[in-house]
Amino acid sequence: MKNLVFLFFITLSGYAQMPGKLLFKSDFSNPLDCKKWIAEIDQIPGHTSTVYTHNNALVLDTWGGVTVWLNQKLSGNLQIEYDRVVRMGKGCNDRIGDMNQFWMATDPKKANLFARDGKFEAYDDLNLYYVGVGGHFNTFTRFRKYLTPLSKPVIKEYADKKHLLEAEKVYHIKIIVKEGTSSFWINGECWFNYTDPSPLTSGYFGFRSLQSRQEIKNLRIYTLD
């Protein structure tokens, strides 16, 4: 009986998903490879925005908006996971908010997705899934699906403290795409679970942020059996 209860708990926590083939991994131990990663940064005059690797982390240290795309199109049943932390010290961009991510992103009008300047509204004409944790100065967390033409309905949102950001806290994020359902997990807890009647089945993954200093580590992308 104890074993059955434990198995049930694992299933609820999301760890019953059994990763298959490892498609991609990065420990960010080398300088950022501009062929593997495409950084789109809104460079605002008078402010410094940079993306780089340091101490086995991808660092988004930006004032303006930034999206860092993995230049590898993904498809099928997937599990994407990584660790992410919002740093809060004396840096000029340090602010708690906007721990965001895109996945299954495609441009329905262009073959080349990577043609934007980092401004948030520049992505409105894409098809994608989006989770913004701690948006609007850390006042809410939202799951959206972007659709063309220019529609991005909110599927679900939170505004309670439990679902907002804390500085210097390490968040283990897991995105699971399986049989038309996308789920978003933080530290073993499912925050969003959406079965899409018209699922996005392929596209690109990207880290997204705004006016903050964030570190991302231990990226792994798997197929799901």
Verdict on whether the full-model pTM lies above 0.75: yes
Residue 64 scores a pLDDT above 50: yes
Distance from C-alpha of 223 to C-alpha of 74, rounded to nearest angstrom:
10
Q: Give the residue-averaged pLDDT of 63-67.
A: 97
Residues in the chain: 225
pLDDT digits (tens, 9 = 90+) for 182-219: 999 999 999 999 999 999 999 999 999 999 999 999 99
Contacts of 90 (CB under 8 A, 6+ apart): none
pLDDT digits (tens, 9 = 90+) for 4-24: 443 433 444 444 467 889 999
Looking at CATH, the fold of the domain delimited by 19-224 is given as Jelly Rolls (2.60.120)
pLDDT digits (tens, 9 = 90+) for 78-105: 999 999 999 999 999 999 999 999 999 9
Distance from C-alpha of 146 to C-alpha of 126, rounded to nearest angstrom:
6
